[in-house]
């Protein structure tokens, strides 16, 4: 592991454009469960209930969705960035982060110090709510209070439309600009680092493939096997927080940064 950490640190030092791509595995060390590990979200809830089509057509699905989303938001709201998030923010600070593509909706990259213009939230964010009809934006906490005081599937107070956290559900269209920009950055980078993702949900999971096909080196940092291991140049299996923070420490040593 040590020699791989050293090699990846050297690759980052020498790279012109480093793209970091993260999934829920980066946030488990902040107490937020991931989706497909044992005990993860899809062990507790049936993904079927969270298809966008069901949300917009069935009141019962909306109520189930809001129940899950309310529980998940409670764990996210109190969560603190862990050393993995902090290491990625450090990469930006030392000028070695071209772009951070995240599948996570927990807002922890910003709490860790990454700038909004550096982060592409492919699956949206749970930190606020929008009306699906008039697109009015609501802060999340007041809507959380409405749910906790009995509203089961809140509606917009302007147009009566359906309110939904600003996250992307299965079957819901991806954010256009963020997705196109993620493709562009993945194609243009020379080093693509995946952290804490099983790489099974598309189009997000296509980004490492695109990067590799465009000539980038591909590094995968993950506890378990991923669907792109076969094409990775280096795989580091273990704790995301420990591994990426060790790499950044080593990098700072190379760059004579304290
Ligand atoms: N350190 C390293 N890897 C970890 C850690 C950890 N502390 N904890 C979990 N992992 C790894 C797991 O081994 C797993 O392979 O992180 C990966 C998380 O995979 P998923 O749970 O599938 O999460 P993700 O890849 O982000 O899912 C993508 O699926 O349901 C949708 O919208 C949801 O954005 C999500 C998307």
Q: What pLDDT tens digit does each residue of the chain (258 aa) get?
A: 899 999 999 999 999 999 999 999 999 999 999 999 999 999 988 888 889 999 999 999 999 999 999 999 998 999 999 999 999 999 999 999 999 999 999 999 999 999 999 999 999 999 999 999 999 999 999 999 999 999 999 999 999 999 999 999 999 999 999 999 999 999 999 999 999 999 999 999 999 999 999 999 999 999 999 999 999 999 999 999 999 999 999 999 998 775
Residue with CA nearest ligand 1 atom 8:
25
- pLDDT at position 6: 97
| Separation of CA 226 and ligand 1 centre (Å) | 10
The residues assigned a catalytic role are 123
Q: Which atom of ligand 1 is nearest to the CA of 40?
A: 21
Residue with CA nearest ligand 1 atom 26:
23
| Separation of CA 36 and ligand 1 centre (Å) | 6
Cβ-contact 220, 228 below 8 angstroms: yes
| DSSP string across 79-133 | ----HHHHHHHHHHHTT--SEEEE---S-HHHHHT--GGGEEETTEEEEEEEETT
What is the C-alpha separation between 95 and 97, in angstroms, rounded? 6
For the chain, domains (ranges, CATH) are 1-32+80-123+174-253 (3.40.50.1220), 33-78+125-167 (3.30.1600.10)
Whether the model clears a pTM of 0.75, i.e. scores above it, the answer is yes
What is the C-alpha separation between 216 and 210, in angstroms, rounded? 9
Q: Which atom of ligand 1 is nearest to the CA of 103?
A: 34
What is the C-alpha separation between 6 and 251, in angstroms, rounded? 8
Residue with CA nearest ligand 1 atom 23:
24
Ligand 1 close to Cβ of residue 154 (< 6 A)? no
Q: Which atom of ligand 1 is nearest to the CA of 226?
A: 15
């Amino acid at each position: 592991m040590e020699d791989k950490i050293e090699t990846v640190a050297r690759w980052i030092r020498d790279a012109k454009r480093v793209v970091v791509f993260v999934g829920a595995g980066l946030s488990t060390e902040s107490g937020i469960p991931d989706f497909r590990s044992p005990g993860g979200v899809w062990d507790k809830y049936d993904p079927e209930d969270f298809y966008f089509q069901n949300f917009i057509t069935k009141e019962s699905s909306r109520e189930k969705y809001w129940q899950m989303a309310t529980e998940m938001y409670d764990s996210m709201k109190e969560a603190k960035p862990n050393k993995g998030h902090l290491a990625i923010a450090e990469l930006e600070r030392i000028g070695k982060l071209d772009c951070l593509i995240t599948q996570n909706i927990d807002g922890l990259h910003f709490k860790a110090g990454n700038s909004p213009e550096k982060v592409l939230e492919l699956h949206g964010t749970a930190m606020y709510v929008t009306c699906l009809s008039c697109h009015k934006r609501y802060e999340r906490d007041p809507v959380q209070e409405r749910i906790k005081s009995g509203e089961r599937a809140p509606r917009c107070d302007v147009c009566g439309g359906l309110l939904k956290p600003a996250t992307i559900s299965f079957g819901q269209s991806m954010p256009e600009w963020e997705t196109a920009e993620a493709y562009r950055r993945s194609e243009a980078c020379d080093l693509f680092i995946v952290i804490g993702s099983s790489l099974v949900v598309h189009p997000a999971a296509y980004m490492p493939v695109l990067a590799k096909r465009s000539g980038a080196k591909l590094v995968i940092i993950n506890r378990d096997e991923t669907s792109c291991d076969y094409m990775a140049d280096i795989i580091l299996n273990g704790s995301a927080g420990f591994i990426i923070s060790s790499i950044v420490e080593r990098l700072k040593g190379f760059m004579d940064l304290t």
